[in-house]
A and B are shown apart, each in its own frame.
Chain A
């Protein structure tokens, strides 16, 4: 049982961490005419690509296993690391299999990535998908539907496969299933965090963006009952929420430092995979349902403006709902949106009397000692306080 679980986790680890994208190559071998669509963080309606038979691949950055050789000559030094590793992957030829690349205007630095990409890869179809930033405008849903249709049109051109309502419904069902499984994984983290460590739960989750979703569903279908069936004992660890992983990801070693010290009962790692919080309806116009879900039944992040979801309130809700005792409010180095949000989070959590640690991280860090010290000191001070 444990062996089966570790095999699953290993498969996920390879898909997420291997900069050669083995899961994609495997898919391409099985689908020699298949096309791959790369999309940068945070949210992309992957169902649209899937419905035309494309493989959507999430650009999630890499840790120190990817050496920056060329990217720095193309992008200014004061940008975050995920932009640089993603560009490096492209410049090194490892992403040559992409037929289409989409970014979103999530931040000012990421918008430039499309420009760079366009100049470097004139043969690739590079697009910006403008997700609405005036989310409460009564015109936003229609506008977003138009954007989805535009992207769908390009996907159809590239694949030669029309996206019918039927094929889109089938894709939505597959992705609904995936989101349901991910919600289940997060329920385990919340209710019985001793059943699975943070690094394993992270890999199980993140792999969704790095392999065909059908395969990911299969893996989670097997893994979740195995995790539930474990007989681990709860330890006296602090329950915390990790905030700040919506785009660039901390390296696995840093997660391992965290899991040594605390139970991370909820987080926003790779939030785009879990952006839609409910099943997307398959009745009626499926494209419209996807657009409405983005606006009406979705999570939050520093890169989406929606006055109905004040971020500091949302974070407190996340803390409350997961029964956490404290939060780590992190930001990737040089990440403008996350760094700007930190002060508001800090103020709100302080006012609410919620203990929290403000910190920065970088996917390429190799020295974890400082992070360990910070986190340990924070946790110890609280354990002492709660004792």
Chain B
């Protein structure tokens, strides 16, 4: 009879701290949104990529992140109700599911499973995803709220790097800085508050600190075993990084995460009990069947040590934001460009980043999950997969489903592909004699 090894996990004093903290913070966020709705105070709808939370927080404008809210409906098993409500209104099955969930929410009384979903008092839509702009136009038509399109010039081509003295950079910064100043005027008008540059400074300082901590958190997964799963826990870190960007509670949360992870590392505790395969996730997860999706990897002791999602959907925070507090607005424009460009518009040219991460995190394989809803993250994945295999020798798995549309979830087919992929990783190991 085979003897089964049972891993004895040490008792950790910080175990569960992050989970408890994030639950409180999320609840508070929903409470704040509910109160804003009840008192008809203005709420700013903004998106994870290019949120300009720095400016919105300066005016104490509560922020609604409709992508986060849409994702949460799927995790709560409710997304299809809203999605179908939007399709009944004529929205095509072939557009972004997040948009449809949101439209459905607005059409059915704004009752989100986690609380009351407020009407927008203003909208910031960056061009980092074109669909943001369309989405914003939906609210504009429905509620007549002001829509501010934050146009962030992105990467012009592969390997594009900013030389901060270049003409292109100066041109981009001038444009973005001008827009930030315009946004400040709009936010002042909507909130009825005066702009306080010292408050902006304070918020930027908090973002600097959050960014530093977030980077340390990501780097924790270079350890073996990796202390957190970028797919499950990572999404939580990223959610809080967005909703509390620039706030002291956000800084505290990142400190809590780091402390918990440091303790795990010190005790050799990994996110999966017996880490065997280290993976990078490119694309997003499937949130309607999240547990099942995660389980398909965990049953092979596969762990997502990194995720591209934690980069671009973290609003550039992973790239090291370092605002110069002596010239806040100018620095905000510069830093937003320097960090959002590689993390967000770099999605289209992300093969070099993937190769780098694969090396730094000692990754065995990359999972490319294409979701029909999101062409922004998914359209070019098959090509990136082939490039990585041929140019960096990193094998990749390409699977497809959706973020919030359970009609596109085909578990048997997905499981087969995932199993076949792990089998191939296993035989690679055997061949390599590892």
At the interface, yes or no: B393 with Cβ under 8 Å from chain A?
no
Assess whether B154 is in contact with A106, with CB atoms less than 8 Å apart.
no
Assess whether A115 is in contact with B348, with CB atoms less than 8 Å apart.
yes
Assess whether A143 is in contact with B141, with CB atoms less than 8 Å apart.
no
Given contacts A137-B182, A334-B94, A340-B95, contact A119 B384 (CB under 8 A): yes
At the interface, yes or no: A368 with Cβ under 8 Å from chain B?
no
Size of the B side of the interface (Cβ < 8 Å), in residues, is: 57
Q: How far is the CA of A174 from the CA of B175 in the complex (A)?
A: 31
At the interface, yes or no: A73 with Cβ under 8 Å from chain B?
yes
Given contacts A112-B348, A146-B171, A307-B147, contact A75 B382 (CB under 8 A): yes
Partner of B129 from A79, A108, A331 at Cβ < 8 Å? A108
At the interface, yes or no: A74 with Cβ under 8 Å from chain B?
yes
Q: How far is the CA of A340 from the CA of B96 in the complex (A)?
A: 9
Q: How far is the CA of A73 from the CA of B351 in the complex (A)?
A: 16
Tell me which residues across on chain B come within 8 A of A107, comparing CB atoms. Answer: 130, 375
Partner of B137 from A139, A143, A344 at Cβ < 8 Å? A344
Q: How far is the CA of A149 from the CA of B156 in the complex (A)?
A: 14
Q: How far is the CA of A149 from the CA of B168 in the complex (A)?
A: 9
Assess whether B154 is in contact with A128, with CB atoms less than 8 Å apart.
yes
Assess whether A134 is in contact with B151, with CB atoms less than 8 Å apart.
yes
Q: Which residue of B lies closest to A128 (CB)?
A: B156
How far, in Å, is B338 (CB) from chain A's closest CB? Answer: 16
Tell me which residues across on chain B come within 8 A of A149, comparing CB atoms. Answer: 167
How far, in Å, is B241 (CB) from chain A's closest CB? Answer: 23
Q: Which residue of A lies closest to B127 (CB)?
A: A133
Partner of B131 from A83, A142, A146, A336 at Cβ < 8 Å? A336
How far, in Å, is A139 (CB) from chain B's closest CB? Answer: 4
At the interface, yes or no: A78 with Cβ under 8 Å from chain B?
yes
Q: Which of B85-93, B267-275, B300-308 contacts A (4 or more CB under 8 A)?
A: B85-93
Q: How far is the CA of A46 from the CA of B151 in the complex (A)?
A: 23
At the interface, yes or no: A32 with Cβ under 8 Å from chain B?
no
Tell me which residues across on chain A come within 8 A of B129, comparing CB atoms. Answer: 108
Within 8 A of A (CB), among B176-235: 178-179, 182
Assess whether A118 is in contact with B157, with CB atoms less than 8 Å apart.
yes
Assess whether A137 is in contact with B179, with CB atoms less than 8 Å apart.
yes
At the interface, yes or no: A237 with Cβ under 8 Å from chain B?
no
Tell me which residues across on chain B come within 8 A of A74, comparing CB atoms. Answer: 380, 382-383, 386
At the interface, yes or no: A69 with Cβ under 8 Å from chain B?
no
Q: Which residue of A lies closest to B135 (CB)?
A: A340
Assess whether B147 is in contact with A336, with CB atoms less than 8 Å apart.
no
Q: How far is the CA of A115 from the CA of B345 in the complex (A)?
A: 10
Of residues B89, B153, B348, B382, which shows the largest number of chain A Cβ atoms within 10 Å of its Cβ?
A: B348
At the interface, yes or no: A178 with Cβ under 8 Å from chain B?
no
Of residues B130, B154, B347, which shows the largest number of chain A Cβ atoms within 10 Å of its Cβ?
A: B130
Given contacts A74-B386, A340-B95, contact A111 B345 (CB under 8 A): yes
At the interface, yes or no: A228 with Cβ under 8 Å from chain B?
no
Within 8 A of B (CB), among A89-147: 105-109, 111-116, 118-120, 125-128, 130, 132-134, 137-140, 142-143, 146-147
Of residues B154, B174, B378, which shows the largest number of chain A Cβ atoms within 10 Å of its Cβ?
A: B378
Tell me which residues across on chain B come within 8 A of A342, comparing CB atoms. Answer: 90, 92
Partner of A75 from B182, B374, B380 at Cβ < 8 Å? B380
For the complex of A and B, the 4 pairs showing the least CB-CB separation, nearest first, are A146-B171, A112-B380, A139-B178, A115-B348
Known: A127-B157, A130-B151, A341-B134. 12 other contacts (CB 8 A): A76-B379, A78-B375, A78-B378, A83-B379, A113-B379, A115-B351, A116-B383, A133-B133, A139-B179, A146-B171, A146-B175, A333-B94
Q: Which residues of B contact A (CB under 8 A)?
A: 89-92, 94-96, 99, 127, 129-131, 133-134, 137, 141, 147-151, 153-158, 167-168, 171-172, 174-175, 178-179, 182, 345, 347-351, 370, 372, 374-376, 378-384, 386-387, 400
Q: Can you list 18 A-B contacts with CB-CB less than 8 angstroms, sorted by A residue number? A: A105-B127, A107-B375, A111-B345, A125-B157, A128-B157, A130-B151, A134-B150, A138-B182, A139-B174, A139-B179, A142-B174, A143-B174, A146-B171, A150-B156, A331-B92, A336-B134, A342-B92, A343-B89
